[in-house]
A and B are shown apart, each in its own frame.
Chain A
């Protein structure tokens, strides 16, 4: 197992190098220069442009830019964004907010999604099953900006149950955005759990367990559910990365100063330094979460042990 983890951690190095390189190239390939729109209607003074390009190494070939960036990165320096603030400082403020938001969303997704899935599976074909099926279908078919805008208007503005925006990113402010963010994946989680559990409930080993005289709750919770959760755990793990990086829409609606908005802004400003640093952190988180998921497999199903 230890060997497995070490191997996986080592595998991360080429992945990180590859992603940073690709993103660096993509920013470089974007049309337009970072200084193009900075001076409004007039072109920027040439001396400003020159100083700006020198400061951010934009006057060098892209490969040199990338290597210089990497060299700095190895010393723990994430560089400076175009507005003069260090990227590390921005990340240190924005990551905790995004992680809070993602954790709230994951919690909602896991608890509500799995519970709804179990209920639907054991009452297959009954009212509760249909209710889960229809409501998840509704959630899936609504785009997130509709759900977000609607929730903000109804629960925030009209009923006043939740704060309207989450500028400071405190836990209570992030509950409503967390629900909105989780809405799509909660639907998938519920459906995945239901399908998987329904299949396993028909399996021979469940009949054997019942025949042994085990109670129904124990059969479902310990035997069937544990086997059914493997695809669900995979999905939740994968969605964690998506929840962190893909919350751009939710972040804009609720004015959350998180990672999604920073990525959007960096792309808009063609700010490669800020973008690559942010994505680098996302990649690391994503890889680690997936490693965790792989380890969890072993816990859920001993046949998949990594020993």
Chain B
């Protein structure tokens, strides 16, 4: 019987092996394909050297959404789509200033009717030419309610947007129209945009990813979600995507790219990392060529600059952090209380001790990297504990415990504790940090207006305009108006600025609007953000854009 037992054991082992392979059906194939890919990556260096090809690897992360420009609003997918697509307008990688890219000209006399003329001869990666209809069709598709695109609201300023939305939540009845009345193709290289109301900074907005044109292949995808197209999206950018899996997204230089922002190296691999620590360690070991994130602990005492001698850099980015006053907390309504809570905190001390000066104390609500920035709009952002205490007493104090709600998964607890401690010391109130398990839980609490006290808000600009820091956050009823701020005078100034005939005039009006925020304190500006990055010894230099992404056209190798 012994022999049969051994045979049974062996047989079960075989069954076990079968189960394992069945469980990830095609496991072998997937694994093999993946390791072949990596072998290629490993050997391509030597192969590439022979043929003169250059390549770099950059930290990537797993995209949250299918790779469609109108359905991607986070950096993991955005980084890749940035290089794969080109838009009418390109943002300068140093100054974020808008420069015409696919557009020959964008003209308007009344800030309502815009005429866009395209440069001729631009190609998509599949060889078809970029024409006016590629824009109009793409924008109509993205704005069409039933397609449920994340970035659909970017098309809201265009006339007819409302007709493309579903009447009811379930979208049982089809919307009234399938195309926006404000868009019209004039000829192959010309189309017109009509906006609902004057929009003086429309040109700046058109550089956002969501406004990229889609090739005919996009519309040929029969899947309603364009899932097949999203595997390897086709754009008209300097790089085309050739591989997209769990370990890496590989881009190759587009040979027929005819724009002014060509790529530098021949091949860019976005290698996927779950943790920034692992990516950082790989850059230190020269295993990875660049990371756009430095882990928090390495920033303390500038450890990272020792780990990466002469291969690090920083860039001011269009990100501002604020603390919002909960609209359901009556005790926080008075302006004196708001000013007191803001003036009682020494921002410079926190940015120095906790962020090692990787943040700059804010003096207003608009990031310094955008056109139209003016320092000092927030008069109550100046540290003055005596004045703060005086204002606090005048406001009648805060009864109970004041909470600062932050998401516990983003490294926000440290500064929140510090902020609390300064309030306790300088104002004598009770303060506690409420850390939610993750960002989603915090947003749920804020969106449902369930949280009292103070909560964190961060804003990364969509497009480099002073308007992008004011309208979406502080206009009455705006989508990101977490504090339910409303001031007719402020709204009116925004409207006037949008209708202004010149950029300078618009900026001046936006600055006046920001000054109103200084009087009303809808939120407490905290600090402007800076991004840190590191690279391997293979790279001589590379630039980071004000959007915290690498400028792939700027890479120089040693």
Could you list which residues of chain A lie within 8 angstroms of chain B, going by C-beta atoms?
1, 5, 31-34, 36-48, 50-52, 54-55, 76, 82-84, 88-97, 99, 152-153, 156-157, 160, 163-165, 167-170, 251-255, 257, 261, 264-265, 268-270, 281, 284-285, 288-289, 291-292, 295-296, 298-299, 302, 305, 307
* Nearest CB of A to B541, in Å: 24
Decide if B281 touches A165 in the complex (CB within 8 Å): yes
Given known A255-B278, A281-B23, contact A83–B62 (CB-CB < 8 A): yes
The answer on a CB contact under 8 Å between A165 and B287 is: yes
A31–B271 Cα gap in the complex (Å)?
32
Asked if B66 contacts A83 (CB within 8 A), the reply is yes
Residue of chain B at shortest CB distance from A37: B440
Q: What are 5 inter-chain pairs, A to B, with CB distance below 8 A?
A: A89-B30, A96-B27, A164-B285, A284-B23, A296-B9
Task: Judge if B1 is at the interface, Cβ distance under 8 Å.
Answer: yes
- Do B149 and A164 touch (CB < 8 A)? no
In B271-300, the 8 Å CB interface with A consists of 271-275, 277-279, 281-282, 284-285, 287
Task: Among B147, B281, B441, B457, point to the contact of A31 (Cβ < 8 A).
Answer: B441
Which of B2, B30, B472 has a CB less than 8 Å from the CB of A302? B2
Q: What is the 8 Å Cβ interface bit string for chain B, positions 31-74, against chain A (1 contact, 0 not)?
A: 10011011001000000000000000000001111100000011
- Residues of chain B lying within 8 A (CB to CB) of residue A1: 4-5, 8
Instruction: Point out the residues of chain A lying under 8 angstroms from B442, CB to CB.
Output: 37
When the two chains form the complex, which single residue of A47, A88, A153, A170 contacts B25, counting CB atoms closer than 8 Å?
A88
A153 → B minimal CB distance (Å): 8
Residues of B within 8 A of A254 (CB): 278
What's the Cα separation between A47 and B151 when bound, in Å? Answer: 11
Residues of A within 8 A of B277 (CB): 252-253
Distance from B261 Cβ to chain A, minimum over Cβ atoms (Å):
26
B31–A42 touching, CB < 8 Å: no
Q: Is the CB of A37 within 8 A of B152?
A: no
Q: Which of B6, B29, B41 contacts A299 (CB 8 A)?
A: B6
Q: Would A94 and B169 count as touching, CB distance under 8 A?
A: no
- Are A152's CB and B281's CB within 8 A? yes
CA distance A285 to B20 in the complex (A): 7
A92 with B150: in contact, given A84-B66, A281-B24 (CB under 8 Å)? no
Q: Check B245 against A32 for contact (C-beta < 8 Å).
A: no
Q: Are A41 and B5 in contact (CB under 8 A)?
A: no
| Contact, CB under 8 Å: B19 / A36 | no
Kindly provide the distance from the CB of A78 to the nearest chain B CB, expressed in whole angstroms: 9
Q: Which residues of A contact B271 (CB under 8 A)?
A: 167
- Closest Cβ of chain B to A168, distance in Å, is 3
What chain A residues lie within 8 Å of B73 (beta carbons)? 38-40
Q: Which residues of A contact B34 (CB under 8 A)?
A: 93, 96, 168-169
Q: Is the CB of B447 within 8 A of A43?
A: yes
A257 to B35, CA, bound (A): 12
Asked if residues A44 and B150 are in contact (CB atoms below 8 Å), the reply is yes
Cα–Cα, bound, A296→B13 (Å): 10
Which listed residue (B12, B29, B153) contacts A5, Cβ 8 A?
A: B12
CB atoms of A40 and B74 under 8 A apart: yes
Contacts of B152 in A (CB 8 A): 45, 47-48
A168 contacts B41, C-beta separation under 8 Å: yes
**Residue interface bits B515-530, CB-to-A below 8 A is 1, else 0:** 0000000000000000
Q: Is the CB of B274 within 8 A of A261?
A: yes
Residue from the list A89, A92, A265, A288 in contact with B274, Cβ < 8 A? A265
Are A36 and B247 within 8 A (Cβ)? no
Provide the residues of chain A in CB contact with B146, threshold 8 Å.
Answer: 47, 51
- Let me know if B514 is at the binding interface, CB within 8 A: no
- Enumerate chain A residues within 8 angstroms of B149, measured Cβ to Cβ: 45, 48
Render B378-397 as a binary contact track against A, CB cut-off 8 A, 1 for contact: 00000000000000000000
* A156 and B285 contact, CB distance less than 8 A: yes
Q: Which residues of A contact B225 (CB under 8 A)?
A: 55, 84
Dominant secondary structure at the A interface: helix
Q: How far is the CB of A26 from chain B (nearest CB, A)?
A: 14
B187 at interface by CB-CB < 8 Å: no
Q: Judging by beta carbons under 8 Å apart, are A96 and B171 in contact?
A: no
| Measured CA separation A289–B6 after assembly (Å) | 16
In Å, the complex CA distance between A96 and B473 comes to: 46
User: 7 new A-B pairs (CB below 8 Å) besides A257-B246, A302-B5?
Assistant: A5-B8, A33-B440, A92-B24, A92-B31, A170-B38, A252-B274, A299-B5
Contact of B19 among A51, A160, A288 (CB under 8 A): A288
For chain B, the count of residues having a C-beta within 8 Å of the partner chain is 86
In contact, A84 and B246 (Cβ under 8 angstroms): no
**Residue in chain B with minimal CB distance to A59:** B170
| Cβ < 8 Å to A, chain B residues 487-514 | none
Nearest Cβ on chain A to B537's Cβ, whole angstroms = 14
Contacts of B5 in A (CB 8 A): 1, 295, 298-299, 302, 305
Check: B227 CB closer than 8 A to any chain A CB: yes
B148 at the interface (CB under 8 A from A): yes
**Whole-angstrom CA separation of A289 from B26 in the bound complex:** 21
Shortest CB distance B132–A (Å): 26
Give the chain A neighbours of B174 by CB distance below 8 A. Answer: none
Residue pair B479, A292 in contact (C-beta under 8 Å): no
Tell me if B440 and A36 are in contact (CB < 8 A).
Answer: yes
Judge whether B12 and A291 touch: CB under 8 Å. Answer: yes
Residue of B nearest to A253 (CB): B278
Chain A residue, CB-CB nearest to B2: A302
Indicate if the CB atoms of B27 and A43 lie closer than 8 Å.
no
- In the complex, the answer to whether A92 meets B27 with C-beta atoms within 8 Å is yes
In the complex, how many angstroms separate the beta carbon of B73 from the nearest chain A beta carbon? Answer: 6
> Hey, which chain B residues are within 8 Å of A289, CB to CB?
16
CB-based contact B35/A38 at 8 Å = no
The verdict on A167 contacting B272 (CB below 8 Å), with A39-B73, A83-B62 known, is yes
Using known A-B contacts A42-B472, A50-B170, A167-B247, determine if residue A84 contacts B230 with beta carbons closer than 8 Å. Answer: yes
CB of A270 within 8 A of CB of B281, answer no
Question: Which one of A45, A54, A83, A252 lies within 8 Å of B150 (CB-CB)?
Answer: A45
User: A288 is contacted by which of B16, B145, B440 (Cβ under 8 Å)?
Assistant: B16
State the CA gap A76–B281 with chains docked (Å): 40
Which B-chain residue is minimally distant from A160 (CB atoms)? B285
Contact of A50 with B169 in the complex, beta carbons under 8 Å: yes
Which of the listed residues B1, B246, B247, B480 has the most CB atoms from chain A within 10 Å of its own CB? B246
Interface set, chain B 152-185, CB cutoff 8 A to A: 152-153, 165-166, 169-171
Does A169 contact B35, Cβ atoms closer than 8 Å?
Answer: yes
Residues of B within 8 A of A307 (CB): 1
Once the chains bind, are B282 and A285 in contact (CB under 8 Å)? no
A50 proximity list for chain B (CB < 8 A): 148, 166, 169-171
Contacts A170-B38, A289-B16: A95 and B439 contacting too (C-beta < 8 A)? no
Closest chain A residue, CB of each to CB of B144:
A47
Residue of B nearest to A100 (CB): B31
A168 and B38 CA atoms in complex are apart in Å by 6
Closest to A261 in B: B274
Q: Is the CB of A96 within 8 A of B12?
A: no
* Contact in complex: B230, A257 (CB < 8 Å): no
B1 & A305 in contact (Cβ 8 Å cutoff): yes
Flag if B457 contacts A41 (CB, 8 Å).
yes
Is A157 a contact partner of B27 (Cβ separation < 8 A)?
Answer: no
Cβ contact of B440, chosen from A169, A270, A285, A302, cutoff 8 A: A270
- Given the interface pairs A47-B145, A50-B169, A164-B282, the reply to whether A295 lies near B24 with Cβ below 8 Å is no
* A281: B residues at CB distance < 8 A: 23-24
Query: CB-nearest residue of chain A relative to B74?
Result: A40
**Cβ contact within 8 Å between A255 and B23:** no
